[in-house]
Protein backbone atom coordinates (compact mmCIF):
# COMPACT_ATOMS: atom_id res chain seq x y z
CA UNK A 1 0.00 0.00 0.00
CA UNK A 2 1.33 3.44 -0.90
CA UNK A 3 1.72 6.17 1.66
CA UNK A 4 -0.76 9.04 1.66
CA UNK A 5 1.67 11.53 0.16
CA UNK A 6 2.61 9.05 -2.58
CA UNK A 7 -1.05 8.55 -3.46
CA UNK A 8 -1.75 12.25 -3.43
CA UNK A 9 1.23 13.14 -5.58
CA UNK A 10 0.87 10.30 -8.05
CA UNK A 11 0.57 11.82 -11.51
CA UNK A 12 -2.90 11.64 -13.02
CA UNK A 13 -3.39 12.93 -16.57
CA UNK A 14 -6.32 15.25 -17.29
CA UNK A 15 -6.68 15.44 -21.08
CA UNK A 16 -9.91 17.42 -20.73
CA UNK A 17 -7.95 20.18 -18.98
CA UNK A 18 -5.23 20.12 -21.63
CA UNK A 19 -7.93 20.38 -24.31
CA UNK A 20 -9.51 23.35 -22.53
CA UNK A 21 -6.20 25.17 -22.11
CA UNK A 22 -5.29 24.42 -25.72
CA UNK A 23 -8.65 25.81 -26.89
CA UNK A 24 -8.10 29.01 -24.88
CA UNK A 25 -4.63 29.45 -26.37
CA UNK A 26 -5.97 28.73 -29.85
CA UNK A 27 -8.75 31.29 -29.50
CA UNK A 28 -6.29 33.90 -28.29
CA UNK A 29 -3.95 33.17 -31.20
CA UNK A 30 -6.84 33.34 -33.69
CA UNK A 31 -8.02 36.70 -32.32
CA UNK A 32 -4.52 38.19 -32.48
CA UNK A 33 -3.32 36.71 -35.76
CA UNK A 34 -6.49 36.49 -37.85
CA UNK A 35 -9.33 38.69 -36.59
CA UNK A 36 -7.25 41.73 -35.59
CA UNK A 37 -5.35 41.98 -38.93
CA UNK A 38 -8.61 41.63 -40.87
CA UNK A 39 -10.21 44.45 -38.91
CA UNK A 40 -7.15 46.68 -39.31
CA UNK A 41 -7.14 46.01 -43.04
CA UNK A 42 -10.78 47.13 -43.15
CA UNK A 43 -9.87 50.39 -41.40
CA UNK A 44 -11.06 49.48 -37.89
CA UNK A 45 -8.78 49.98 -34.86
CA UNK A 46 -8.00 46.54 -33.48
CA UNK A 47 -4.86 46.84 -31.43
CA UNK A 48 -3.67 44.38 -28.79
CA UNK A 49 -1.26 45.89 -26.30
CA UNK A 50 1.75 44.15 -24.84
CA UNK A 51 0.14 44.38 -21.41
CA UNK A 52 -2.96 42.56 -22.66
CA UNK A 53 -0.81 39.80 -24.11
CA UNK A 54 1.01 39.34 -20.82
CA UNK A 55 -2.24 39.28 -18.86
CA UNK A 56 -3.66 36.67 -21.23
CA UNK A 57 -0.62 34.43 -20.72
CA UNK A 58 -0.82 34.87 -16.95
CA UNK A 59 -4.54 34.09 -16.88
CA UNK A 60 -3.99 30.95 -18.96
CA UNK A 61 -1.25 29.77 -16.61
CA UNK A 62 -3.53 30.35 -13.60
CA UNK A 63 -6.26 28.30 -15.31
CA UNK A 64 -3.86 25.46 -16.00
CA UNK A 65 -2.40 25.40 -12.49
CA UNK A 66 -5.81 25.48 -10.83
CA UNK A 67 -7.47 22.86 -13.04
CA UNK A 68 -4.70 20.30 -13.58
CA UNK A 69 -2.66 17.89 -11.49
CA UNK A 70 -1.61 18.14 -8.68
CA UNK A 71 -3.85 20.92 -7.33
CA UNK A 72 -7.01 19.45 -8.78
CA UNK A 73 -6.39 15.94 -7.44
CA UNK A 74 -5.25 16.95 -3.95
CA UNK A 75 -7.99 19.55 -3.65
CA UNK A 76 -10.77 17.25 -4.77
CA UNK A 77 -9.74 14.10 -2.92
CA UNK A 78 -7.56 14.93 0.08
CA UNK A 79 -7.47 18.51 1.39
CA UNK A 80 -10.35 20.95 1.43
CA UNK A 81 -7.82 23.76 2.02
CA UNK A 82 -6.25 23.08 -1.37
CA UNK A 83 -9.76 22.91 -2.83
CA UNK A 84 -10.31 26.42 -1.43
CA UNK A 85 -7.11 27.67 -3.06
CA UNK A 86 -8.27 26.17 -6.35
CA UNK A 87 -11.64 27.91 -6.20
CA UNK A 88 -9.99 31.19 -5.21
CA UNK A 89 -7.77 31.07 -8.29
CA UNK A 90 -10.70 30.19 -10.55
CA UNK A 91 -13.07 32.86 -9.23
CA UNK A 92 -10.95 35.70 -7.83
CA UNK A 93 -7.71 35.71 -9.84
CA UNK A 94 -8.29 34.20 -13.28
CA UNK A 95 -11.51 36.05 -14.32
CA UNK A 96 -10.23 39.63 -13.87
CA UNK A 97 -7.00 38.70 -15.67
CA UNK A 98 -8.89 37.39 -18.69
CA UNK A 99 -11.19 40.43 -18.69
CA UNK A 100 -8.27 42.86 -18.53
CA UNK A 101 -6.56 40.93 -21.32
CA UNK A 102 -9.59 41.29 -23.63
CA UNK A 103 -9.47 44.34 -25.96
CA UNK A 104 -12.61 46.45 -26.16
CA UNK A 105 -13.02 45.78 -29.90
CA UNK A 106 -12.91 42.02 -29.29
CA UNK A 107 -15.50 42.23 -26.50
CA UNK A 108 -17.82 44.20 -28.77
CA UNK A 109 -17.32 41.60 -31.50
CA UNK A 110 -18.05 38.70 -29.12
CA UNK A 111 -21.24 40.30 -27.83
CA UNK A 112 -22.36 40.83 -31.41
CA UNK A 113 -26.13 40.95 -31.78
CA UNK A 114 -28.49 43.13 -29.79
CA UNK A 115 -30.08 40.09 -28.16
CA UNK A 116 -26.77 38.80 -26.84
CA UNK A 117 -25.83 42.33 -25.80
CA UNK A 118 -29.03 42.68 -23.76
CA UNK A 119 -28.37 39.38 -22.01
CA UNK A 120 -24.78 40.34 -21.22
CA UNK A 121 -25.83 43.78 -19.95
CA UNK A 122 -28.43 42.20 -17.68
CA UNK A 123 -26.14 39.52 -16.28
CA UNK A 124 -23.28 41.97 -15.66
CA UNK A 125 -25.27 44.56 -13.78
CA UNK A 126 -23.53 44.98 -10.42
CA UNK A 127 -26.50 43.92 -8.30
CA UNK A 128 -27.41 40.94 -10.49
CA UNK A 129 -23.82 39.74 -10.96
CA UNK A 130 -22.79 40.30 -7.34
CA UNK A 131 -25.83 38.59 -5.83
CA UNK A 132 -25.69 35.63 -8.22
CA UNK A 133 -21.97 35.08 -7.62
CA UNK A 134 -22.22 35.25 -3.83
CA UNK A 135 -25.24 32.95 -3.79
CA UNK A 136 -23.25 30.40 -5.81
CA UNK A 137 -20.29 30.75 -3.45
CA UNK A 138 -22.57 30.03 -0.50
CA UNK A 139 -24.24 27.14 -2.34
CA UNK A 140 -20.93 25.48 -3.23
CA UNK A 141 -20.11 25.24 0.50
CA UNK A 142 -23.31 23.35 1.25
CA UNK A 143 -22.41 19.86 2.45
CA UNK A 144 -24.56 18.04 -0.12
CA UNK A 145 -22.99 19.98 -3.00
CA UNK A 146 -19.43 19.39 -1.77
CA UNK A 147 -19.92 15.68 -1.19
CA UNK A 148 -21.71 15.22 -4.54
CA UNK A 149 -18.92 17.08 -6.34
CA UNK A 150 -16.40 14.83 -4.64
CA UNK A 151 -18.10 11.67 -5.93
CA UNK A 152 -19.60 12.80 -9.25
CA UNK A 153 -17.22 14.03 -11.96
CA UNK A 154 -19.76 15.61 -14.37
CA UNK A 155 -21.51 17.37 -11.50
CA UNK A 156 -18.14 18.64 -10.27
CA UNK A 157 -17.25 20.15 -13.66
CA UNK A 158 -20.72 21.66 -13.95
CA UNK A 159 -20.24 23.42 -10.61
CA UNK A 160 -16.88 24.77 -11.76
CA UNK A 161 -18.39 25.99 -15.02
CA UNK A 162 -21.16 27.84 -13.17
CA UNK A 163 -18.67 29.36 -10.74
CA UNK A 164 -16.31 30.62 -13.43
CA UNK A 165 -19.18 32.02 -15.53
CA UNK A 166 -20.64 33.81 -12.52
CA UNK A 167 -17.19 35.07 -11.54
CA UNK A 168 -16.59 36.51 -15.02
CA UNK A 169 -19.89 38.39 -14.82
CA UNK A 170 -19.15 39.55 -11.28
CA UNK A 171 -15.79 41.04 -12.26
CA UNK A 172 -17.11 42.99 -15.26
CA UNK A 173 -18.04 46.06 -13.13
CA UNK A 174 -14.41 46.15 -11.93
CA UNK A 175 -12.24 44.93 -14.82
CA UNK A 176 -14.56 44.52 -17.80
CA UNK A 177 -13.26 45.31 -21.30
CA UNK A 178 -16.24 47.61 -22.02
CA UNK A 179 -15.69 50.96 -20.25
CA UNK A 180 -19.41 51.71 -20.06
CA UNK A 181 -19.98 48.53 -18.03
CA UNK A 182 -17.45 49.49 -15.35
CA UNK A 183 -18.43 51.28 -12.17
CA UNK A 184 -16.77 54.51 -11.13
CA UNK A 185 -14.13 54.27 -8.43
CA UNK A 186 -16.51 54.92 -5.49
CA UNK A 187 -18.87 52.28 -6.88
CA UNK A 188 -16.01 49.83 -7.34
CA UNK A 189 -14.92 50.33 -3.73
CA UNK A 190 -18.43 49.72 -2.44
CA UNK A 191 -18.83 46.71 -4.74
CA UNK A 192 -15.57 45.08 -3.62
CA UNK A 193 -16.41 45.77 0.01
CA UNK A 194 -19.72 43.93 -0.36
CA UNK A 195 -17.90 41.07 -2.10
CA UNK A 196 -15.61 40.72 0.93
CA UNK A 197 -18.47 40.32 3.42
CA UNK A 198 -20.36 37.24 2.19
CA UNK A 199 -17.38 34.81 2.28
CA UNK A 200 -16.96 35.45 6.01
CA UNK A 201 -20.09 33.38 6.75
CA UNK A 202 -18.95 29.98 5.41
CA UNK A 203 -15.39 30.86 6.47
CA UNK A 204 -16.49 31.26 10.09
CA UNK A 205 -18.49 28.05 9.86
CA UNK A 206 -15.40 26.15 8.69
CA UNK A 207 -12.97 27.79 11.09
CA UNK A 208 -14.92 27.32 14.32
CA UNK A 209 -16.52 23.94 13.67
CA UNK A 210 -15.26 21.29 16.09
CA UNK A 211 -16.47 18.37 13.95
CA UNK A 212 -15.82 17.39 10.33
CA UNK A 213 -18.09 19.48 8.11
CA UNK A 214 -17.67 17.40 4.94
CA UNK A 215 -17.60 13.61 5.35
CA UNK A 216 -16.01 13.21 1.90
CA UNK A 217 -12.82 14.86 3.19
CA UNK A 218 -12.74 12.80 6.39
CA UNK A 219 -10.56 10.11 4.82
CA UNK A 220 -7.99 7.82 6.39
CA UNK A 221 -5.16 8.99 4.15
CA UNK A 222 -3.92 12.40 5.24
CA UNK A 223 -1.60 14.74 3.33
CA UNK A 224 1.02 17.04 4.89
CA UNK A 225 0.10 15.72 8.33
CA UNK A 226 -3.15 17.73 8.44
CA UNK A 227 -6.09 16.05 10.13
CA UNK A 228 -9.59 16.81 8.93
CA UNK A 229 -10.25 19.51 11.54
CA UNK A 230 -7.02 21.38 10.84
CA UNK A 231 -7.69 21.05 7.13
CA UNK A 232 -11.12 22.68 7.26
CA UNK A 233 -9.88 25.36 9.67
CA UNK A 234 -7.11 26.23 7.23
CA UNK A 235 -9.70 26.34 4.43
CA UNK A 236 -11.76 28.81 6.46
CA UNK A 237 -8.72 31.01 7.08
CA UNK A 238 -7.86 30.98 3.38
CA UNK A 239 -11.38 32.08 2.55
CA UNK A 240 -11.57 34.73 5.26
CA UNK A 241 -8.02 36.08 5.52
CA UNK A 242 -6.66 35.24 2.07
CA UNK A 243 -9.64 36.34 -0.03
CA UNK A 244 -10.33 39.27 2.29
CA UNK A 245 -6.73 40.49 2.09
CA UNK A 246 -6.80 40.15 -1.69
CA UNK A 247 -10.00 42.18 -2.07
CA UNK A 248 -8.94 44.83 0.44
CA UNK A 249 -5.59 45.19 -1.34
CA UNK A 250 -7.45 45.85 -4.59
CA UNK A 251 -9.60 48.38 -2.77
CA UNK A 252 -6.51 50.14 -1.41
CA UNK A 253 -4.92 50.30 -4.86
CA UNK A 254 -8.11 51.71 -6.40
CA UNK A 255 -8.49 54.27 -3.61
CA UNK A 256 -4.93 55.59 -3.79
CA UNK A 257 -5.06 55.80 -7.59
CA UNK A 258 -8.32 57.71 -7.29
CA UNK A 259 -6.81 60.05 -4.70
CA UNK A 260 -3.72 60.69 -6.82
CA UNK A 261 -5.85 61.44 -9.88
CA UNK A 262 -7.88 63.86 -7.82
CA UNK A 263 -4.75 65.65 -6.63
CA UNK A 264 -3.42 65.86 -10.18
CA UNK A 265 -6.73 67.26 -11.44
CA UNK A 266 -6.74 69.80 -8.62
CA UNK A 267 -3.21 70.94 -9.47
CA UNK A 268 -4.13 71.31 -13.11
CA UNK A 269 -7.25 73.31 -12.27
CA UNK A 270 -5.17 75.71 -10.15
CA UNK A 271 -2.45 75.95 -12.76
CA UNK A 272 0.23 74.41 -10.56
CA UNK A 273 3.29 73.36 -12.52
CA UNK A 274 5.13 70.25 -11.32
CA UNK A 275 8.80 69.80 -12.11
CA UNK A 276 9.89 66.22 -12.73
CA UNK A 277 13.25 64.76 -11.66
CA UNK A 278 14.45 64.88 -15.27
CA UNK A 279 13.90 68.62 -15.47
CA UNK A 280 10.63 68.36 -17.37
CA UNK A 281 7.72 70.56 -16.42
CA UNK A 282 4.18 69.27 -16.21
CA UNK A 283 1.16 71.55 -16.38
CA UNK A 284 -1.37 72.87 -18.87
CA UNK A 285 -2.88 76.02 -17.36
CA UNK A 286 -1.28 79.41 -16.72
CA UNK A 287 -1.50 80.93 -13.26
CA UNK A 288 -3.34 84.02 -12.05
CA UNK A 289 -5.95 83.98 -14.78
CA UNK A 290 -3.47 84.07 -17.65
CA UNK A 291 -4.19 82.29 -20.89
CA UNK A 292 -3.04 78.68 -21.06
CA UNK A 293 -0.03 77.80 -23.19
CA UNK A 294 -0.83 76.72 -26.69
CA UNK A 295 -1.33 73.04 -27.45
CA UNK A 296 1.50 73.16 -29.96
CA UNK A 297 3.92 74.27 -27.27
CA UNK A 298 2.69 71.70 -24.80
CA UNK A 299 2.59 68.66 -27.05
CA UNK A 300 0.10 65.84 -26.74
CA UNK A 301 1.55 64.31 -23.58
CA UNK A 302 1.67 67.50 -21.50
CA UNK A 303 5.43 67.30 -20.81
CA UNK A 304 7.48 70.46 -21.24
CA UNK A 305 11.17 71.17 -21.21
CA UNK A 306 12.60 74.39 -19.84
CA UNK A 307 13.41 75.54 -23.38
CA UNK A 308 9.76 75.13 -24.39
CA UNK A 309 8.61 77.05 -21.32
CA UNK A 310 10.97 79.91 -22.17
CA UNK A 311 9.70 79.94 -25.75
CA UNK A 312 6.14 80.13 -24.52
CA UNK A 313 6.96 83.02 -22.16
CA UNK A 314 8.63 84.88 -25.03
CA UNK A 315 5.49 84.37 -27.09
CA UNK A 316 3.28 85.81 -24.34
CA UNK A 317 5.53 88.83 -23.86
CA UNK A 318 6.32 90.70 -20.65
CA UNK A 319 3.68 90.93 -17.95
CA UNK A 320 2.04 94.35 -17.48
CA UNK A 321 3.47 96.44 -14.63
CA UNK A 322 0.95 97.61 -12.06
CA UNK A 323 1.64 101.05 -10.53
CA UNK A 324 0.29 102.49 -7.33
CA UNK A 325 -1.97 105.52 -7.57
CA UNK A 326 -0.03 108.77 -7.54
CA UNK A 327 3.26 107.31 -8.74
CA UNK A 328 4.79 108.93 -11.80
CA UNK A 329 4.49 107.03 -15.05
pLDDT of residue 23 exceeding 80: yes
Asked if residue 276 and residue 256 are part of one domain, the reply reads no
Asked if residue 310 and residue 225 are part of one domain, the reply reads no
Tens digits of residue pLDDT in 191-203: 999 999 888 888 8
Asked if residue 159 and residue 27 are part of one domain, the reply reads yes
Asked if residue 63 and residue 206 are part of one domain, the reply reads yes
Total domain count, the chain: 2
CA gap 207, 230 in Å, rounded: 9
Note whether residue 175 is domain-resident.
Answer: yes
Mean pLDDT of 248-252: 96
Amino acid 222: pLDDT? 85
Q: 247 pLDDT band (50/70/90 cuts)?
A: very high
Asked if residue 278 and residue 257 are part of one domain, the reply reads no
Tens digits of residue pLDDT in 176-191: 999 999 999 999 999 9
Domain extent for 304: 272-315
Note whether residue 222 is domain-resident.
Answer: yes
Range scoring the smallest mean pLDDT among 3-17, 62-76, 107-121, 289-303 = 289-303
Asked if residue 277 and residue 253 are part of one domain, the reply reads no
Q: Would the pTM of this model clear 0.85, i.e. be above it? A: no
Tens digits of residue pLDDT in 266-315: 888 876 555 555 555 555 444 444 444 444 443 444 455 556 656 666 66
Closest residue by Cα to residue 297 from 286, 289, 287, 288: 286
Asked if residue 277 and residue 187 are part of one domain, the reply reads no
How does DSSP assign 159-188, residue by residue?
HHHHHHHHHHHHHHHHH-SSGGGSPPHHHH
Amino acid sequence: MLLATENAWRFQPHPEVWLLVGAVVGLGWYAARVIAPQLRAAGHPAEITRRQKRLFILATVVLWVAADWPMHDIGEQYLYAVHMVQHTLLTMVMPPLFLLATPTWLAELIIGSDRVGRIVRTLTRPVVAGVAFNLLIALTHWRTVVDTSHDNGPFHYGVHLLLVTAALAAWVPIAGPLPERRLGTPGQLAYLFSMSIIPTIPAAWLTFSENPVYPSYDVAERVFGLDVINDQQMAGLIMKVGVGFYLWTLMAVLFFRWALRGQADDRRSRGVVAVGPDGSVRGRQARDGGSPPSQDALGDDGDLTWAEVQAELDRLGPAPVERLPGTPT
